[in-house]
Structure 1
């Protein structure tokens, strides 16, 4: 009889310990997920057609918040001109001379023409507006892949900041389009940017 009561007490203690462990692991898991979301990886929703066909409305991307300094060709999420999270492609970084257009209607960076056919929206043009700017140190020149539908650096040149975005405003670099699953894709920098010196 005494053995049975003792066994029951041990069993109750085990159940309490198991429940505590489960709660502790759950709290720890949520904490780690929140830390990852805040400092390492973020998920972002695409609200407009400005990055078509690379990103369509309602697509979702994961962004690496620890990717380091943005480079030409990267797709980045940043605090935009209106203070909202915005996604565009980096065309020029600090010190670059970004211009449009050369005799073949291509954007040039430091005099090197970009072949944007791998990401530019079909039958769209690199830019309707002609421009030539030198990107200040610590700033970025950003453009959408669907140029005729993108309010990007070109649209903000007459505002404070001259259309440039600070590198400090960048939240992270888009690394994968994960939704919808049928269009999942790991992003790679277009080769055309490798030719820019």
Structure 2
């Protein structure tokens, strides 16, 4: 009985305990599958680029702040991360949010455009910088569809008759500018926004485009997303929450 068992085991294992024909050792199979790292590197790099592109398209994208129109909330050359996912679920920009949007009507005409380098183009493709040739602006949403926004004298800025307390306005600025463009009363139409910069006396925002076909309004469809974090430089790192003044009772009509 024991001789028969030994003989059957020998047939399964082959001579001297080796595996049967056609069954290579596990280590040998792994060795055959393993490729040199330099062969796998382009494949891994391709996957990383695809993932970065998908993140840029559907989740988050970095944008460079080119001017001081949002000081002191945002400084020149800050990098902000913009939430692009929320709009995919039907949410629209709300009062107090800082949003990035495409130029709605030649707001940037006459501004110098620096030709991007090859590196900048690559970073733009994966979302670490704005894509080459794209023209974007960043401002704070003050009024949404149906809101009445007004400025008289030096302020305060009012939305639906409610005065806003605006600690984010650049130190030394008044809430309303006393130039002709800075004095207004507008009602925001459906599907649009009224936007203003935090550096009130240094921002070419909705106030200064009331003569364009949309009366200075920004179509919601032009909004890329909401800026949620100042990501760079690290010394400026901060979140960008909605100020409490936009939560006051009676502001929502």
TM over 0.5: yes
Match of 2:138 in 1: 87
Deviations along 1:129-180, whole A, 9 cap, x unmatched?
A: 2100000011000000001100000000011110000000000000000111
Is 1:73 aligned with 2:96? yes
Aligned-partner Cα distance in 2 for 1:57–1:85 = 15
Q: How much has 1:19 moved relative to structure 2?
A: 6.3
Q: Aligned ranges for residues 98-177 of structure 1 at < 5 Å?
A: 98-101=149-152, 105-117=155-167, 119-128=168-177, 129-177=182-230
Q: How many aligned positions are there?
A: 191
* CA deviation string 1:104-152 (max 9, x = no partner): 72010000100012x1000101121210000001100000000110000
Give, in angstroms, the shift of residue 39 of structure 1.
1.9
Pick the structure with greater CA Rg.
2
- SS of the equivalent of 2:143 reads strand
Query: Which range is displaced more, 89-98 or 8-17?
Result: 8-17
Match of 1:42 in 2: 61
- Stretches of structure 2 that go unaligned for 5 or more consecutive residues are 1-23, 109-134
Is the aligned partner of 1:13 residue 2:28?
no
Higher strand share: 1
Distance 1:23 1:106 in 2: 58
Q: Give per-residue Cα distances to partners, 1:44-82, cap 9 Å, x unaligned.
A: 000001000001110010000123310000000001232
1:63 matched to 2:82: yes
Deviation at residue 13 of structure 1 after TM alignment: 2.2
Q: 1:194 to 1:20 in 2, by over 3 A?
A: same
The CA distance in 2 between the partners of 1:151 and 1:92, in whole Å, is 16
Separation in 1, partners of 2:147, 2:50: 41
Give unmatched runs, 5+ long, in structure 1. 1-5
Q: With the length of structure 1 as denominator, give the TM-score of the two structures.
A: 0.88
For residue 24 of structure 1, report the CA deviation from its aligned partner.
3.9
